[in-house]
Amino acid sequence: MEHGKIIIYQTDNNNVEVRLERETVWLTQRQMSELFDTSSDNISLHLKNIYAVGELEKEPTTEDFSAVQKEGDRHVRRTLAHYNLDAIISVGYRVNSKRGVRFRQWATGVLRQNLVRGYTVNERRLAEKGLAEMEQTIALLSRTLVSHEALSDEGKAVLDVVSQYAKSWSLLLKYDEQRLELPDDGHQTEKPLLYGEAIEAIESLKTELMECREASDLFGQERSQHLQGILGNLDQTFGGQELYPTIEEKAAHLLYFVIKDHPFSDGNKRIGSFLFLIFLRENNLLDQSGINDNALVALALLIAESDPKQKDLMIRLVMNLLAGGQK
């Protein structure tokens, strides 16, 4: 037991040995391939991409452990690279297999459960102690969950949004009391997102993702020109006035509608986020926005999991985050 404990994790009809060490779990690439029912080469490719884009750092998420493996009729002890829970979760969100889907469903469920618990805590604190106490509770919740590695990377991204934009998150109180207002000083739209340009960009994204084995042929397949309807709605007018007159309003509604209305057979969250960034860039607002990569991942998850009755809340949250980056 000098190198940590070994437990057995059962998935379907297969058993996977899991190493427990330093309050986390460790798996080799071969074990991850068994866990997610895919090839070791596919696992290796995903890990390479994860480290290449800076999603994780290699040194703190890998460790060499001595392990016994069967080679023919012999059992040979070799030193093998193991990957911790952060890396396992990141791979799990990229693997395109039935077990990968089940893993993502489980991980998303855990994330949602933690978010509900966290919001309940903060809502009670807010009622008892006020806004300052709520923000302190959010910070404590974030530090505790991250330090104990209780969430996936997507979960940590949500906590990053909650922590970094605690002031904006406090708008939940104003929303409950019907006092939540749109930000002042929005920017006028310079360039609309045209349907043909959007489809061309989505096709390019699909090609790139399929080359990395991170998308299937269903990715980006539009249903009954639903996207065209969404883009048309962004530019609609009433009484000669635009319903969504600012870049911030159009961008927020674009992100929300693509994620919630599911205009594509697969990839709605990724495509919605992609078009959101394109629209901000084409209107020279991307560099000024207060939304980074982690924040965008978190917003996509929050919108996807939100009740349709919370649409106005989600729109205002996105707009306030955009406005927060311009101050």
Nearest Cα neighbor of 315 from 253, 257, 222 is 253
Same domain, 63 and 135: no
Average of per-residue pLDDT across 220-228: 91
Burial readout 36-57 (b: 16 or more C-beta within 10 A, e: otherwise): bebeeebbebbbebbbeeebbe
Same domain, 213 and 301: yes
The amino acid occupying position 196 is: G
- Whether 181 maps to a domain, the answer reads no
Same domain, 229 and 127: no
Domain containing residue 134? 98-176
Per the structure, the count of domains in the chain is 3
> Quick check: 276 pLDDT over 70?
yes
- Whether 242 maps to a domain, the answer reads yes
Q: Do residues 191 and 282 touch, judged by C-beta distance below 8 A?
A: yes
* SS3 assignment, position 229: helix
CA-derived radius of gyration, the chain: 22
Same domain, 25 and 82: yes
> Quick check: 187 pLDDT over 60?
yes
- Whether 253 maps to a domain, the answer reads yes
Query: What per-residue confidence (pLDDT) applies to 10?
Result: 47
Q: Do residues 287 and 218 touch, judged by C-beta distance below 8 A?
A: no
Query: What per-residue confidence (pLDDT) applies to 259?
Result: 95
> Quick check: 117 pLDDT over 80?
no
Task: Considering only residues 312 and 169, tell me which one the structure prediction assigns the higher pLDDT.
Answer: 312
Within a 10 A sphere around the Cβ of 270, how many other Cβ atoms? 22
pLDDT band at 4 (very low <50, low <70, confident <90, very high): very low
pTM over 0.75: no
Per DSSP, helices labelled H in the chain are 29-36, 40-52, 58-61, 85-92, 98-129, 131-147, 153-164, 166-169, 171-176, 195-211, 226-234, 247-261, 268-282, 293-305, 311-324
Same domain, 318 and 204: yes
Share of the chain above pLDDT 90, in %: 28
pLDDT band at 317 (very low <50, low <70, confident <90, very high): confident
Among 92, 120, 139, give the residue marking a domain's end.
92
* Distance from C-alpha of 216 to C-alpha of 79, rounded to nearest angstrom: 35
- Whether 303 maps to a domain, the answer reads yes
Same domain, 172 and 204: no
- Whether 25 maps to a domain, the answer reads yes
- Whether 293 maps to a domain, the answer reads yes
Q: What is the mean pLDDT of the chain?
A: 76
Task: Considering only residues 325 and 75, tell me which one the structure prediction assigns the higher pLDDT.
Answer: 75
Among the ranges 79-93, 114-128, 214-228, which has the highest mean pLDDT value? 214-228
Q: Which residue has the tokens 């991409």?
A: 49
Same domain, 317 and 206: yes
CATH number at residue 234: 1.20.120.1870
Same domain, 9 and 25: yes
Phi, psi of 181 (to 5 degrees): -110, 160
Share of the chain above pLDDT 70, in %: 64
Same domain, 202 and 246: yes
- H/E element, 67: strand 62-71
> Quick check: 190 pLDDT over 80?
yes
Among 72, 92, 112, give the residue marking a domain's end.
92
Burial readout 309-327 (b: 16 or more C-beta within 10 A, e: otherwise): eeeebbbbbbbbbbbbbee
pLDDT band at 157 (very low <50, low <70, confident <90, very high): low
Task: Considering only residues 98 and 167, tell me which one the structure prediction assigns the higher pLDDT.
Answer: 98
pLDDT band at 11 (very low <50, low <70, confident <90, very high): low
Q: Which residue has the tokens 């799990």?
A: 92
- Whether 183 maps to a domain, the answer reads no
> Quick check: 221 pLDDT over 90?
yes
Query: What per-residue confidence (pLDDT) applies to 260?
Result: 94
Average of per-residue pLDDT across 20-36: 78
Nearest Cα neighbor of 37 from 84, 97, 112 is 97
> Quick check: 199 pLDDT over 90?
yes
* SS3 assignment, position 267: coil
Among 58, 92, 126, give the residue marking a domain's end.
92
Within a 10 A sphere around the Cβ of 133, how many other Cβ atoms? 14
Same domain, 207 and 318: yes
Same domain, 295 and 205: yes
Least confident of 174-178, 190-194, 243-247, 278-282: 174-178
Same domain, 20 and 133: no
- Whether 170 maps to a domain, the answer reads yes
